[in-house]
Chain A
Amino acid sequence: MLTKKQKRINWVLVIFLLVLSIFFLFPVIWMLANSFKPDAAITADMNSVAAFIPPMPQGNFFENYVTIIKDTSFLRYMGNTLFYAAVMIVLGIVVNGLAGYALAKIPFPFSDKWLLIILMLQIVPTETVITIHFLIIAKAGLLNTVLGYVLPMIVNPFNIYLFRQVFVSLPDDVYEAAQLDFCGPVKYFFTMVLPMSKTVVATVGVFTFLNVWNDYLWPALVFTSGDLLTAQIGLNAITSNENTTMGQTLAVITMITIPVIIIYSLFSKQIVEGVTSTGSKEG
């Protein structure tokens, strides 16, 4: 179908992009390859192509990883973060989902005004209120507690609005039938509404996970020390320790990225749709 000229342009383009992608990925390739090497090898390989090639798998291939797992609490920090993410996903879906459903389907006084307020609240950046969050949580004596970390982050105007937009198009007659069945509204919400809206639930869940996993400032403020640290804060604590070698640092940042890569590959469809639809919706 393509003309000869178009074909030639296409190949130039593909080769250009291939070369560009290698340049683009060199930090990541370097990170992966050297996370399996002792520091002496990293320095020795620096000036050759070997800097981008992992060593031959031997007995101590995973030594940096093993040292991190054995000598630091990093696995514990990763576990903490998974737990916080799970709590946040459940509470976030329930609280924001209920609010979105009320705004979509159950008229109550000023519900249209509330919708407008929710829409406007999306503009406010978290940095505006984060020092006050810190003040409130500190005054409530909740610093260094899970509750103090989770509480301010549950409600999310953007997610309320997202749920509302999806719930609004659910059929009304099912709701009426459910009421005749003595199926209470709360039960109806959990057994009918949420299962009927799997896509939005998955989208909110995935983005909540990514937010919790990658968040830095808020956990750094709430968790000042101890066993409750999140992975990102723990990462900083471990890598700023003098005894941590370069290879171990690279192993830590590789490990911390693995769960995110798993989530991205499992939910790539939702994520791409979420990313591109924020574009088309607002645009």
Chain B
Amino acid sequence: MRKKNSIMGMAFFAPALILLTLFLFLPMLLTFGFSFTDYFALNPELTHFVGLKNYLDCFKDELFVKSFLNTVKFVIIIVPCQCGGAMLMAIAINHAAHCKKYFKVAFFVPVVMSLAVVSTLWMQIYSPEGILNTLLANFGIDAQPFIHSAKQALPSVAIMSVWQGMGYQMLILLGGLQNINPALYEAAEMDHATNWQKFKDITLPEMKPLCVLIFITVTIGAFRMLVQPMVMTGGGPDHSTYTIVYDIYQTGTVNWEMGLASTMAIIFTIFVVVLTIIQNILTKDKEDK
């Protein structure tokens, strides 16, 4: 009976296992293996083991360094704007006594739209004679090039991404705020606590795990930036919106340099895994207390 059961278990698990092996374990092994070779997919016979050369080359490769720095810039703009904005919005909506439902939906609308749609839409909005420049002209501001200049392209794309993603985090935070036990606030009221004290001593500690979660997921999301520059700027102008994932994709599937692309993918993965581990440590800490 037991043996029959265990065969049944393996049979149930088998389809998933086969697909996991083919499309996760094998690709992970190959990525790791290729990262030490000069594997060129159009001419696989000429593959050599090159040791750590790719890793050293990556950091000497101007374009990779630039795409890395661009990605960091995206993270630096997006993370505080999106997390802070979502938090402020969640607190405001939580306190508002009217139109709660409307606000929830209104700020969630951009999340519903796909990245390709949002990018296409904002290309029109950012266009030199577009609606944004027309609106700005009413305030006496000169026409801005936005995504058409190397200087403004990255912040323009970043702000659009914040606009698109913020509603999602707002919803998570709002759920968290509503889950805080009202008895805590009532007790504080008995002690004549000020609003600031209530926020500092009840809201913030109660929300800490959610804030960590959001901080890390937004950081990882910004780190994975690809579709927006791909659709809007093609990584330009002058590679000013070229990101790590864009570089991995171009190197691997357009130039077929799988060896180098694998190295980049490994470096990228290390960052994501480290961030995830940090998140787990920070939130575990809270649970043990």
Give the contacts of A1-24 with B (CB-CB under 8 A).
2, 9-10, 13-14, 16-18, 21, 24
Interface residue stretch chosen among A26-34, A59-67, A71-79, A197-205:
A26-34
Cβ of A131 and Cβ of B102 under 8 Å apart?
A: no
Give min CB distance, A233 to chain B, whole Å.
Answer: 8
Residues from chain B with a CB closer than 8 A to the CB of A101 are: 12
Cβ of A155 and Cβ of B31 under 8 Å apart?
A: no
Q: How far is the CA of A283 from the CA of B249 in the complex (A)?
A: 32
Given contacts A99-B15, A127-B248, A128-B269, whether A17 and B212 have CB atoms under 8 Å apart is: no
Interface residue stretch chosen among B50-58, B60-68, B75-83, B103-111:
B103-111
- Write the chain A residue with the least CB distance to B287: A283
Say yes or no: is B13 at the interface (Cβ < 8 Å to chain A). Answer: yes
Cβ of A109 and Cβ of B6 under 8 Å apart?
A: yes
Q: How far is the CA of A21 from the CA of B27 in the complex (A)?
A: 44
Interface residue stretch chosen among B142-150, B197-205, B260-268:
B260-268
- Write the chain B residue with the least CB distance to A220: B230
Cβ of B96 and Cβ of A261 under 8 Å apart?
A: no
Given contacts A123-B276, A136-B22, A217-B249, whether A107 and B6 have CB atoms under 8 Å apart is: yes
Say yes or no: is A142 at the interface (Cβ < 8 Å to chain B). Answer: no
Cβ of B92 and Cβ of A155 under 8 Å apart?
A: no
- Write the chain B residue with the least CB distance to A101: B12
Cβ of B27 and Cβ of A132 under 8 Å apart?
A: yes
Given contacts A125-B272, A127-B268, whether A216 and B131 have CB atoms under 8 Å apart is: no
Q: How far is the CA of A160 from the CA of B92 in the complex (A)?
A: 37
- Write the chain B residue with the least CB distance to A137: B23
Give min CB distance, A209 to chain B, whole Å.
Answer: 12
Say yes or no: is A236 at the interface (Cβ < 8 Å to chain B). Answer: yes
Residues from chain B with a CB closer than 8 A to the CB of A96 are: 16
Say yes or no: is A40 at the interface (Cβ < 8 Å to chain B). Answer: no
Give the contacts of A134-191 with B (CB-CB under 8 A).
134-136, 138, 151-152, 154-155, 157, 160, 185, 189
Say yes or no: is B95 at the interface (Cβ < 8 Å to chain A). Answer: yes
Cβ of A108 and Cβ of B124 under 8 Å apart?
A: no
Given contacts A98-B13, A131-B261, A253-B120, whether A232 and B114 have CB atoms under 8 Å apart is: yes
Cβ of B115 and Cβ of A216 under 8 Å apart?
A: yes
Interface of A is mostly: helix
Residues from chain A with a CB closer than 8 A to the CB of B134 are: 46-47, 51
Say yes or no: is B283 at the interface (Cβ < 8 Å to chain A). Answer: yes
Say yes or no: is A260 at the interface (Cβ < 8 Å to chain B). Answer: yes
Residues of A in contact, count (CB < 8 Å): 84
Cβ of B9 and Cβ of A111 under 8 Å apart?
A: yes
Cβ contacts A226-258/B at 8 Å (1 or 0 each): 000000100110010000001001101100110
Q: How far is the CA of A204 from the CA of B258 in the complex (A)?
A: 33
Say yes or no: is B209 at the interface (Cβ < 8 Å to chain A). Answer: yes
Q: How far is the CA of A107 from the CA of B258 in the complex (A)?
A: 40
Cβ of A14 and Cβ of B117 under 8 Å apart?
A: no
Partner of A95 from B16, B125, B214 at Cβ < 8 Å = B16
Cβ of B262 and Cβ of A155 under 8 Å apart?
A: no
Say yes or no: is A264 at the interface (Cβ < 8 Å to chain B). Answer: yes
25 sampled A-B residue pairs with Cβ under 8 A: A27-B163, A46-B129, A47-B134, A51-B131, A51-B134, A98-B16, A101-B12, A107-B9, A109-B10, A121-B24, A128-B27, A133-B23, A136-B27, A152-B23, A154-B19, A155-B20, A157-B20, A216-B226, A216-B227, A249-B120, A256-B114, A256-B117, A276-B172, A279-B175, A283-B212
Binding site for B on A (CB under 8 A): 2, 9-10, 13-14, 16-18, 21, 24-28, 30-31, 43, 46-47, 51, 94-96, 98-99, 101-103, 106-109, 111, 114, 121, 123-125, 127-136, 138, 151-152, 154-155, 157, 160, 185, 189, 213-214, 216-217, 221, 232, 235-236, 239, 246, 249-250, 252-253, 256-257, 260-261, 264, 272, 275-276, 278-280, 282-283
